[in-house]
């Protein structure tokens, strides 16, 4: 039997937005799935492994017998709380996306993992102005330097996050937004693509994945307002392509998902009103 039929896949971040879809789709395809989690869940179809990427606890046991790793864990304060604070423009924690990736790579090499699939974001380059993007790039670089057979999959911003960020602006009568192109994508589409990449014999940088439509941010914001029945004035800020790129506003280069922003909004009437996730954000943030 092929590895695909017999192998065990370890998913990190399996309790997160992307990770949950990833795990559901792997299970639906009949795969054996282990999830590394700080607080294991109760779904009996999953082989739960308790561990923490930031200090490496539990990783050795979690990787025992694993053939494929899909690293979908992250720590983004913006994604955690669902809105941006000034501090996010100056710093972001490295404990999960850099130190955690290093710990995971070391233990994966030791365990003889056959394919290490790393989830990243579109538009990363050393000139990025957002600290989170710089941290993601540092994590990617560790993967590239590793001796493991690796794949990196860059994804466009997820619909859930864009909806939370727009929701957090509801109290403002005017919405000043960069008039820059982006291509938001559904986590279900990213999960399906990641599984295809994990199964593929190809290694290295894969095509990026974005949603089916690349449009200026204010166009998506107007769709949000229309579907949520809100009236706000959009102020389009024209910024240079270079500056937009530094802020992470880019279209994805390659694979397109199928779920439109409009369809996603119609199917998710209630984006979270407060914090997006339960994980406490460290006090210094």
Ligand X SMILES: NC(=O)c1ccc[n+]([C@@H]2O[C@H](COP(=O)([O-])OP(=O)(O)OC[C@H]3O[C@@H](n4cnc5c(N)ncnc54)[C@H](OP(=O)(O)O)[C@@H]3O)[C@@H](O)[C@H]2O)c1
Tokens representing residue 101 in the block? 């990736």
Handedness of CA 56, 61, 62, 65 (dihedral sign): positive
Binding of ligand X at residue 72 (CB under 6 A)?
yes
Longest dimension (CA), the chain: 60
Residues 111, 117, 121, 142: which binds ligand X (CB under 6 A)? Answer: 121
Minimum Å gap between C-beta 217 and ligand X is 14
Binding piece for ligand X, criterion CB under 6 A, among 72-80, 164-172, 245-253, 260-268 = 72-80
Minimal distance, residue 161 CB to ligand X, in Å: 4
Q: What count of Cα atoms within 13 Å lies in the side-chain half-sphere of residue 56?
A: 10
Work out whether 13 is an interface residue with ligand X (CB under 6 A): yes
Q: Which one of residues 161, 164, 166, 191 is an interface residue with ligand X (CB under 6 A)?
A: 161
**Rule CB under 6 A: is residue 17 a binding residue for ligand X?**
yes
Of the candidates 132, 137, 18, 135, the residue with the CA atom closest to the CA atom of residue 85: 132
- CA distances in angstroms from 161 to 77, 84, 116, 168, listed in the order given: 12, 11, 26, 11
Tell me which of 7, 19, 77, 211 binds ligand X, using CB under 6 A: 19
Q: Which residue is nearest to ligand X (CB)?
A: 16
Applying CB under 6 A, among 155, 192, 194, 197 the residue interacting with ligand X is 155
Closest approach, Cβ 87 to ligand X, in A, equals 17
**CA–CA distance, 101 with 78 (Å, rounded to integer):** 20
Q: What's the first-to-final CA gap in the chain, in angstroms?
A: 48
- The answer to whether 75 contacts ligand X (rule: CB under 6 A) is yes
Nearer to ligand X, 52 or 199 (CB): 52
Q: What residues have CB less than 8 Å from 243, skipping those under 6 apart?
A: none
Give, as ranges, the residues between 88 and 117 that touch ligand X (CB under 6 A): 96, 100
Query: Minimum distance from CB of 162 to ligand X (Å)?
Result: 7
**Position 158 contacts ligand X (CB under 6 A):** yes
Provide CB contacts within 8 A for 16, sequence distance 6+. Answer: 72, 73, 74, 277
Nearest distance, CB of residue 95 and ligand X, angstroms: 6
Contact 28, 56 (CB under 8 A): no
Q: Residue 208 and residue 251: Cα distance in Å, rounded? A: 9
- Residues 25-64 binding ligand X (CB under 6 A) are 36-39, 52-54
Binding site for ligand X (CB under 6 A): 12-13, 15-19, 36-39, 52-54, 72-76, 79, 96, 100, 119, 121, 136, 155, 157-158, 161, 277, 279
């Amino acid at each position: 039997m092929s590895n695909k039929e017999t192998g065990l896949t370890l998913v990190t971040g399996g309790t997160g937005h992307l990770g949950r879809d990833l795990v559901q789709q792997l299970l639906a395809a009949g795969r054996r799935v282990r999830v590394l989690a700080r607080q294991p869940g109760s779904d009996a179809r999953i082989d739960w492994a308790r561990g923490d990427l930031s200090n490496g606890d539990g990783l050795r046991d979690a990787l025992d017998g694993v053939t494929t790793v899909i690293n979908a864990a992250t720590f983004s304060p913006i994604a955690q709380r669902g809105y941006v604070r000034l501090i996010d423009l100056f710093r972001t924690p490295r404990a999960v996306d850099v130190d955690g990736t290093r710990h995971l790579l070391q233990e994966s090499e030791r365990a003889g993992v056959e394919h290490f699939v790393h989830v990243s974001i579109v538009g990363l380059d050393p000139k990025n102005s957002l600290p989170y993007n710089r941290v993601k790039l540092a994590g990617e670089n560790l993967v590239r330097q590793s001796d493991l057979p690796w794949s990196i999959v860059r994804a466009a911003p997820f619909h859930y996050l864009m909806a939370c960020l727009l929701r957090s602006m509801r109290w403002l009568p005017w919405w000043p937004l960069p008039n820059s192109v982006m291509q938001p994508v559904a986590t279900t589409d990213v999960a399906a693509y990641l599984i295809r990449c994990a199964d593929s014999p190809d290694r290295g940088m894969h095509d990026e994945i974005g949603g089916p439509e690349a449009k200026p941010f204010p166009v998506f914001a107007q769709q949000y307002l229309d579907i949520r029945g809100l009236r706000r004035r959009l102020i389009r800020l024209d910024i240079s392509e270079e500056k937009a790129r530094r802020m992470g506003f880019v279209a994805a280069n390659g694979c397109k998902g199928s779920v439109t922003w409009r369809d996603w909004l119609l199917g998710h009437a209630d984006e979270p009103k407060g914090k997006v996730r339960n994980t406490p954000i460290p006090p210094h943030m």
